[in-house]
Amino acid sequence: MVTHATRSPGHQVTSKIIIQQLSIWFGKVLALRSLNLEIQGNEILGVIGPANSGKTSFLRQLNRLNELEASFRMSGEVILDNKNIQHIKPEALRKRVGMIFALPQVLPISIYDNVAYGVRMHDGKSKSELDGIVEDSLKSSFLWDEVKDRLKELATKLSGGQQQRLCISRTLAVKPEVVLFDEPCSGLDPISTAKVEESMLKLKEKYTIVLVTNNTKQAARVSDRTAFFLTGELVEIDKTHKLFTAPKDKRTEEYIQGKFG
């Protein structure tokens, strides 16, 4: 049953993803323990916590990437729009739930072909339709003005920040519903980071976003709500300004203050 939460007076927010009693193991290692969590539609959910807290295992479970690990097993459920994702084919799920990784993974082909790549795999589009999708996707990641006259150039010639925004464009081109960000700015300079964050804030108008970050200041800047993970457990989740100014758990406060992690 999809529940509802109210983001602002008179505005109902529907849960896009519901996680119920999710536990994840890799071999004998328990990476995530009995997680219960709801991700609201059109929000940016920030996920913070030190290394080995279960953040990435949680993120990768949302589009079944954990299944690529031979030692992986799980219990519990992840529900996307009232349907258990285990009943959705991985390829179809990953079209709906796209992922941006820590390091840009551009293809050694043109800027244009990078963005069009997934669309060509999934859909038969005309050249004019592809042109429109490429332009719209590049505009959504605030990259269009920088590359509109260079679309035939190799994507590998772009700067690191531009490559990361190109990866965002490529993900958006196949029209996902959810976009997962796994440390998307870890290797970027402050200017490039600001552009990626600007893109995220704009994207939440159309997409649901989950951002895993080790940068607590980034979570504070862009997230609507923030979840704090520690040793495979969800310690607390709240509206971002509340979690950062008045956390309920002392461990959250100590992590935010930089006393560990």
26 — phi, psi (to 5°)? -120, 105
Residue 2 has pLDDT above 50, yes or no: no
Residue 77 has pLDDT above 70, yes or no: yes
183-196 pLDDT tens trace:
999 989 999 999 99
210-257 pLDDT tens trace:
999 999 999 999 999 999 999 999 999 999 999 999 999 999 999 999
Residue 197 has pLDDT above 90, yes or no: yes
Residue 99 has pLDDT above 80, yes or no: yes
Q: Round the average pLDDT of the chain to a whole number and report it.
A: 93
Residue 94 lies in a domain: yes
CATH number, position 224: 3.40.50.300
Largest CA distance in the chain: 56
Structure-token pair, residue 46: 């920030």
Q: Which band of pLDDT confidence, cut at 50, 70 and 90, is reported for residue 10?
A: very low
| Domain, as residue range, for 211 | 41-65+88-256
Q: Which ranges of 24-98 would DSSP assign to H, the alpha helix?
A: 55-61, 90-96
2 or 132, which is more confident?
132
- Percentage of the chain beyond pLDDT 90 is 88
What is the number of domains present in the chain? 1
List Cβ neighbours of 44 (8 Å cut-off, separation of 6 or more).
200, 201, 204, 209, 210, 211, 222, 223, 224
Residue 7 has pLDDT above 70, yes or no: no
Residue 153 lies in a domain: yes
Tell me the C-alpha to C-alpha distance, in Å, between residue 180 and each of 9, 111, 157, 249.
28, 22, 25, 26
pLDDT reported for residue 13: 64
Q: In whole angstroms, what is the distance from residue 146 CA to residue 162 CA?
A: 9
